[in-house]
Amino acid sequence: MLAALRLLNLLTLLAWPLLVWLALTQPRWQGLFWLLALLFGLRWQVLRRQHNALSHVMGWLALAGALLCISSQLLRSQHLLLWYPLAVNLAMLLVFGSSLWSAMPLVERIARLREPHLPLAAVRYTRRVTQLWCLFFIGNGSMALVTCLLGDLRLWTLWNGAISYLLIGTLMAGEWLVRQRVRRKA
């Protein structure tokens, strides 16, 4: 049951821009936000029981998603729903950025799960990758903000539902290719 809920939540998060677009352009789909609020609430319940920083942040994002769904329905202001991608980018910037002030940046922590004894060059590399992700979240969050302020639903859906996902995938693939090249040189 928990695995099914996690999968459903992942699909909900990935489909958020499309679901928002659908519900805002098709009045008969507006009830979908009550279901989304429920899914976000269930996600929050699951995540608050986990005791790590990323789960804590993701839990707050789930709660924010639920509150945006509920408040947009109660206040009849669907524009509130557009702000969720900005909240996600800000939260991820905080997670990645704050880890730069710790002894071990987030990307290094992730790398050490697979390779506990990283060489010094790899430690420096993971710090740079963490900084790169911070820059990405600043840029992507800025564009999410611009699309919210413009209020153009097609532009918002295009950026937050397609372009940002393509950029994330490109950054992940590019970083993986660079990492492979760096490993071969070492």
For the cut 70, the answer to whether the pLDDT of residue 143 exceeds it is yes
For the cut 80, the answer to whether the pLDDT of residue 1 exceeds it is no
pTM of the model: 0.84
- Give the model's pLDDT for residue 5: 67
Number of domains in the chain: 1
pLDDT per position as a tens digit, 118-130: 888 888 999 999 9
Query: What are φ and ψ of residue 76, in 5° steps?
Result: 55, 40
- Give the model's pLDDT for residue 34: 86
CA dihedral for 144, 146, 149, 155, sign (positive or negative): negative
Q: Give the amino acid at 53.
A: A
Q: How confident is the model at residue 90 (pLDDT cuts 50, 70, 90)?
A: very high
| Domain coverage including residue 170 | 2-185
pLDDT per position as a tens digit, 9-27: 777 777 778 888 887 788 7
For the cut 90, the answer to whether the pLDDT of residue 158 exceeds it is yes
Q: Give the amino acid at 71.
A: S
